Amino acid sequence: MNNKKKIFPSVLSASIAATMITMSSGSMAADSDPIKVGVMLPFSGVYAGLGESTRNGLKQALKEQGNSIAGRPVEFIEMDTEAKPARAPEITSSLVDNQKADFVIGPVHSGVAMGMIKTIKGKDSIMIIPNAGANAATGAFCQPNVFRTSFSSWQTAFPMGKEAYDMGYKKIVTMSWNYGFGKESLEAFNESFTKAGGEVIKEMLVPFPKTEFQSYLTEIASINPDAVFVFFAGGGAVKFVKDYDAMGLKGKIPLLGSGFLTEGTTTAQGPAAEGVITTLHYADALDIPKNQRFRQDYETLYGKPADLFAVQGYDAGQLIAQAVSATGGNTTDKAALIQQMEKLEIDSPRGAFHFSKAHNPIQTIYLRKVVDGQNTVVKVAQDHLEDPARGCKL
């Protein structure tokens, strides 16, 4: 009896010690597992340049952490979306269900974003949108595990309405391609402009991706509004601004736009872009120390200037690094990780921002004017602008 009583504590202690060693070993193994970052961006096709810039910014942010967060290495799994919405469910499922990605970064294209959001709903991965601006992504289709480090289409156009009215423009013609982002941009401008007391006297919707603008510009000349507000981007923006000048409207009817009208396009637009006024959450020449350091480091790493898309990718990387650090490297408890992400303030090259309840950035929107081929900041159009997230139930 006595021997058994003496032996039992020793056996029990040994058993507990063995169990603790086993648990500790399992924990250490888990702690050394890589943090898996799925990257769903267009690396081919018309949006390949945007995908490359976004990936570059993402990797720059994590390179600043030594490609390791809280002692865990970062592993990238890259998938080319080709900006094709039909591919979104298949690729998202592969990253989430097969690769077990902790984070999925993407996309550029709003149509791809909606397919991703529907597929990732209720899953154990966190999606971070570094560009796609469809309002519904953080509106009616908002999810606890979906964040955005870019913008909503509403945010990029809404502030220009009041700015236009304050400039003395009372009657305006609006124009865009006839597709989701364009129409959302015109709606946001109209909401703000009419609230201020202005009147949209004509809305023109151009079939996408048509770039024959002459008939529309002829009609604008005949209407002779106080100003024109448009949404065009990329090659369409280049063509529109040059045609606007060639038709003799520049200097007669002021041209305003969502920032994408002159974002990454001023070199191709040339002198025609001079004086064009836009609103956006970033400008290359933004006089913020963080922006200056970011741009210098980006050019050193990649041999070319950074752009807006690189900034948004960089901030997605910063979000991952800060959130995982805050949980001590634990990515298993996704609820705790999401909770940390919701609390964070991101020190961005665009200026600091934090997240709304719908997980969209609450951020500063700048009024910009093209001077000597560069988007220069005229003033802050609206500080701490929060998207209304219409339809979001979070």
Spell out the domains of the chain, with CATH numbers in brackets: 22-151+288-359 (3.40.50.2300), 154-280+366-385 (3.40.50.2300)
H or E element at residue 110: helix 110-120
pLDDT for 69: 98
Q: Over the chain, what is the mean pLDDT?
A: 92
What global pTM score does this model have?
0.90
- pLDDT surpassing 90 at residue 44: yes
Residue predicted with more confidence, 34 or 14:
34
- Is residue 19 predicted with pLDDT exceeding 60? no
Q: Within 10 A of 163 (CB to CB), how many other CB atoms are there?
A: 22
Cβ count within 10 A of residue 320: 26
Cα separation, 62 vs 69, whole angstroms? 8
Range 17-44 average pLDDT = 66
Task: List pLDDT tens digits, range 92-148.
Answer: 999 999 999 999 999 999 999 999 999 999 999 999 999 999 999 999 999 999 999
pLDDT at 5: 40
134-193, pLDDT tens digit by residue?
999 999 999 999 999 999 999 999 999 999 999 999 999 999 999 999 999 999 999 999
pLDDT at 195 over 90: yes
Nearest to 127 by CA among 139, 141, 113: 113
| pLDDT for res 91 | 97
pLDDT surpassing 60 at residue 6:
no
pLDDT at residue 32, rounded to an integer: 81
The pLDDT of residue 46: 82
Nearest alpha carbon to residue 40 among 121, 103, 118, 97: 103
| pLDDT, tens digit (0-9, with 9 covering 90-100), for 307-325 | 999 999 999 999 999 999 9
The tens digit of pLDDT for each residue in 249-294 reads: 999 999 999 999 999 899 999 999 999 999 999 999 999 999 999 9
Instruction: Please give the average per-residue pLDDT across 51-68, as a whole number.
Output: 97
Q: How confident is the model at residue 29 (pLDDT cuts 50, 70, 90)?
A: very low
